[in-house]
Structure formats: structure tokens, C-alpha cells
Homo-oligomer: A and B are copies of this chain.
Amino acid sequence: MIAGGIEAGGTKMVCAVAETSEDWREQKEPPHILARAQIPTGQPEETFAKMLDFFEPWDIVSLGIGSFGPLDLDRRSRTYGFVTSTPKQGWENRDFAGTFARARRIPVGFDTDVNAAVLGEVAWGAARGCETAIYITVGTGVGVGVYCNGGLLHGMVHPEAGHILLSRAPGDRYRGRCPFHENCMEGLASGPAIEERWGARAASLAGRREVWELEADYIAQAVADYILVYSPQRIILWGGVMHQTQLFELVRERARERLGGYVRHPMAEESIGEYIVPPALGEDPGVLGAVCLGLLEREYHKK
């Protein structure tokens, strides 16, 4: 049994087909990826056409899409499955899920890129078996996927926890990159914010301790808040910025400091090294999570 997934980003679309089975929930290993392609994100029509070409030879039972947003995830809405108010030119109010459902006549699951990623890690990765877990990506933007009470969190729209408001570090005079919020996580701590603040490419800043201490402090503030609000059983932390892996230990230390011993649980204290972790699915939580979204959608349609 073969299932498809798309990790839809603002610059590229990662498409994959994976081998799985009816008892995919019980599989010890993540589905084996049989083929994959990266397609640059151009205008919707041509991009949709190229992705459909990729999937064309494969008899997939379902497709899942984890997409950049914002998205309409309300099944009762006329525009369910659409990318909505994105600043990405040409993509505003485009029917992403429906295009594939009509072309392939299979169940198409649809959610945010970060919700797909946390789902992948819950199904087959570092958050396996958790009922509540989050996936934080710190890269071009900051996003948080939230799995709670055994499902992906949507609510009124969908969480946008990458924009939570932080306390500015004393002496940090950088104005922030978010056009909406003066002091939000994405504005202060995304990859482009680091480069703009320090006037250099992140890779060339690797040896400058003050850069990563400030960055760890902002990430840790956000992580402490996420622990307080979600009480997750596991926190997966990734994205381009976290490729500076020295950040992990700094973030763990400072998140503990910020919590001040208030959350009494070994995972928030001596075992924090097993609590705040990189993904177990390497670079694939997004696309494997998208495969999982499709498999869940197939079960939803069977009910």
C-alpha cells in the first residue's frame, strides 16, 4: 500500500511516496520512502501540475499536505483546504487540497506544515506514543505544531505560537523583523532576524558565543511558555537555526532557569535532555507527517 505526502514550503515543495500498510500505526519503523522530488514553489498552476506529474505513476491510496499558511482548516467552511491570506504572491485564496482531491479522487489530508511535522514525530519519531507534544521550527520563520489530547490542534483558526510575545533582552536594540509584533518570537529569533541583527550570515557567526547565547535566551523563553501552556510530553526542536546544535544545551539550561523549578516533573528538570530533542525522523518529519495526514484522512472517510 502506497501513500503520498507533500511538505509545502514557500520556496520548495517536497513530494514523496512511501510504502506503508493498513496497520501503519503499529509499524516500528517510519514508512520507507520510495521516491521523492523537490519542486520549486512557483505560481500555483505550474507548481500543482509538476506535483501531479510526480505522483502520476503511483497508485497512492491517500495524499497528505502539510502547508505554509495561513490555511482554512474548518471542514464546515466553503474554503476548507485553501491557503488563505498569505503574502505569497499568487497563492492567496488558492484551493490546495481540493485541486489534488479532484485530480486524483483519493482522500487528501490537509494541515499546517508544523502540524504535519509534529504528527510525523508522534506517529514514528521522537514523540511516539505521546498524547501531547509540540514541534518547534526555528528557521526562516518560527512555527509550532501542536498535538494535544490525541489530535492536531486547530481551534478558531490554527495556533500561531511562533508569534508569542517575548521580553526583549536588556541591551538588544534590534528592532525585530515581524511587521505585526514589536517583540514576538519570530521577529526576534528567526534566522533572518539573527542575520539582520548581527549583519552576517548565520554560518559565519558560528564561533561568536554572544550570538548564540542571546538566541538561546529567546528560544528558551518561548519554550518555557510552551511548557507552561501546553504541558507537552515531548518537545521537538528543529529548523535551520537549530543546525547550530550547540543551541540545544543552552536552550535546555535556560528553559530550566526560566521555569525556576515551578514545573515539578523529571522531564522539566534532570531529564530535560530527553525532553527537548531534535526530530528522530531527521529532515523528514514534515513529509512523513504529510503522509500520515493522508492516512488519517483515509480513515476519516471510511468512518
Residues of A in contact with B (beta carbons under 8 Å apart): 70, 84-85, 131-132, 144, 146, 148-161, 163-168, 180-181, 183, 221, 224-233, 258-265, 267-268
Q: Is the CB of B165 within 8 A of A155?
A: no
Known interface pairs A148-B153, A225-B164; A231-B262 also in contact (CB < 8 Å): no
Q: Is the CB of A132 within 8 A of B161?
A: no
A234 to chain B, nearest CB (A): 9
Q: Is the CB of B231 within 8 A of A154?
A: yes
Nearest opposing residue in chain B for A235, CB measure:
B156
What B residues does A231 contact at CB under 8 A? Answer: 153-160
Known interface pairs A132-B154, A267-B156; A261-B180 also in contact (CB < 8 Å): yes
In the A-B complex, list the 5 residue pairs whose CB atoms are closest, starting with the nearest: A155-B231, A132-B155, A180-B260, A180-B262, A149-B151
What B residues does A84 contact at CB under 8 A? Answer: 264
What B residues does A265 contact at CB under 8 A? Answer: 156-157
Task: Give Cα distance in the complex from A265 to B155, angstroms.
Answer: 12
A174 to chain B, nearest CB (A): 15
Q: Is the CB of A167 within 8 A of B167?
A: yes
Q: Which of B85, B132, B153 contacts A156 (CB 8 A)?
A: B132
What B residues does A221 contact at CB under 8 A? Answer: 165
